[in-house]
Homo-oligomer: A and B are copies of this chain.
């Protein structure tokens, strides 16, 4: 990149926030799973939509590609520049203001660089609840959550990030600012632009702020681990829990024996949670807006009926807030725990609920066929049909050799997913990792429309190139 161009970008954000020192840039290029090794000549850290607007104007004039980055927690490389090293990396971290909290209207206007956990805490101080919750909440940012339409554990009751957003402010690839920060839930005035930017992974524009819904803060919760025999039983249990719990059912996480075992040992917990081991487990969470024991009472009713109906085999209810947190920690740390067991080929999929049992049975055969001895670590948000179907290397096998099976494994598992009309990327997005899958599994009609949309928004192709399409 020419010095003169770097100079012009520097004028926009100030010398301190236009970084060319590769040692300072390095952390921004490090990515969780080590799958991508992007390069950039320049890191910009703008502080306002206006600065980003100027950056995009200059980028358009000079045909310079821009890669926006939030908390850098994405799992598909959407936030990473490619290896050619020609794209400018644009960190959103300084757009970190909570602009407004509106208690009567139950919404918040928040900038893209605000960290999810900071927002959760901030609104909790006002006795409100922002439900989005995921393992990376301590570092992921709202803009990234929106650009990837983040999911997580609260989708069952509150929906994905898409459902939680009322309006957006976006800087377009040509630098114009779209102010669509609506404060109302219902707005049928023209095409739905908001939902185009949500989930577009920064390829259509840069989300700079959003209006997000707030909810009444639950006053209490009740949490249990349940042991059961099969995915079918887990589905029966889900139906029962939904019928009794309705909107109070705020968590229903499913995991295989191995998933829980790995997490228990990662958390240095020597005891199993239940007296015996079970093939499958469910972490169930009931929340209540009242503080009168309703959550525990509803959970107890559900468990009792499930035990009596031979739907579940055993259950343990958390006896303290601390134990509730520990139960959730066991769920949240499965991914980290799995790392210690060696290389892992990941699938972030959604399956229609009724087809989950067949899918799990058939996928196991595929895995054994492709990688004999590989260990399936299957867990996820069963209430949403969203499974993290991860395949850990067989014991003693070379990790690099095993990981060479990635594409083949993905392709076969995703083919099965599509056979059941599911999704081959349920919550992590496409990024760089799943572009081939998108080409394989989306219809040519859908791909063609997407290309048309991309061209309409970004005719020069400067907006996060090489991602999604």
Write the residues of chain A forming the contact surface with B, with a CB cutoff of 8 angstroms. Answer: 102, 104-107, 148-149, 151, 155, 159-160, 162-163, 172, 176-193, 195-196, 198-200, 204, 216, 235, 239, 242-244, 246-248, 289-290, 350-355, 381, 384-386, 420-430, 434, 437-438, 441-443, 445-447, 449-450, 452-457, 468-469
Asked whether A385 and B102 contact (CB < 8 A) given A192-B198, A289-B243, A446-B190, the answer is no
**20 contacting pairs across A/B (C-beta < 8 A):** A105-B385, A151-B188, A155-B185, A155-B186, A172-B449, A178-B445, A179-B445, A182-B423, A184-B385, A186-B381, A187-B425, A188-B428, A189-B429, A189-B430, A189-B437, A190-B450, A192-B199, A193-B450, A196-B196, A456-B456
Contacts A102-B354, A190-B438, A191-B454 given; 16 further ones with Cβ under 8 A? A105-B354, A149-B188, A149-B192, A159-B163, A183-B422, A184-B423, A186-B350, A186-B423, A187-B425, A188-B425, A188-B427, A190-B442, A190-B450, A192-B195, A246-B289, A449-B456
Which 4 residue pairs spanning A and B have beta carbons closest together? A247-B247, A104-B354, A187-B423, A195-B195
- Judging by beta carbons under 8 Å apart, are A186 and B385 in contact? yes
- Judging by beta carbons under 8 Å apart, are B443 and A178 in contact? yes
Question: Which of A151, A184, A187 has most chain B Cβ within 10 Å?
Answer: A184
- Judging by beta carbons under 8 Å apart, are A184 and B453 in contact? no
- Judging by beta carbons under 8 Å apart, are A184 and B242 in contact? no
Measured CA separation A185–B246 after assembly (Å): 17
Nearest-Cβ distance from residue A106 to partner chain B, whole angstroms: 7
- Judging by beta carbons under 8 Å apart, are B163 and A443 in contact? no
- Judging by beta carbons under 8 Å apart, are A191 and B200 in contact? yes
- Judging by beta carbons under 8 Å apart, are A449 and B178 in contact? yes
- Judging by beta carbons under 8 Å apart, are B352 and A180 in contact? no
- Please name all residues of chain B whose beta carbon is closer than 8 Å to the beta carbon of A182 when the two chains form the complex: 421-423
Asked whether A426 and B239 contact (CB < 8 A) given A449-B193, A455-B456, the answer is no
Measured CA separation A163–B189 after assembly (Å): 17
Nearest-Cβ distance from residue A352 to partner chain B, whole angstroms: 4
- Judging by beta carbons under 8 Å apart, are B353 and A104 in contact? yes
- Please name all residues of chain B whose beta carbon is closer than 8 Å to the beta carbon of A381 when the two chains form the complex: 186
- Please name all residues of chain B whose beta carbon is closer than 8 Å to the beta carbon of A248 when the two chains form the complex: 246-247
Which of B179, B184, B469 touches A443 (beta carbons < 8 Å)?
B179
Measured CA separation A428–B188 after assembly (Å): 7
Measured CA separation A204–B151 after assembly (Å): 29
Nearest-Cβ distance from residue A152 to partner chain B, whole angstroms: 10
Asked whether A188 and B179 contact (CB < 8 A) given A193-B449, A247-B247, A456-B452, the answer is no
- Please name all residues of chain B whose beta carbon is closer than 8 Å to the beta carbon of A159 when the two chains form the complex: 163
- Judging by beta carbons under 8 Å apart, are A184 and B104 in contact? no
- Please name all residues of chain B whose beta carbon is closer than 8 Å to the beta carbon of A188 when the two chains form the complex: 148-149, 151, 199, 423, 425-430
- Please name all residues of chain B whose beta carbon is closer than 8 Å to the beta carbon of A185 when the two chains form the complex: 155, 350, 384-386
- Please name all residues of chain B whose beta carbon is closer than 8 Å to the beta carbon of A181 when the two chains form the complex: 421
- Please name all residues of chain B whose beta carbon is closer than 8 Å to the beta carbon of A427 when the two chains form the complex: 186, 188
- Please name all residues of chain B whose beta carbon is closer than 8 Å to the beta carbon of A242 when the two chains form the complex: 216
Measured CA separation A131–B106 after assembly (Å): 23
Nearest-Cβ distance from residue A116 to partner chain B, whole angstroms: 17
- Please name all residues of chain B whose beta carbon is closer than 8 Å to the beta carbon of A449 when the two chains form the complex: 172, 178, 191, 193, 456-457
Measured CA separation A423–B189 after assembly (Å): 7
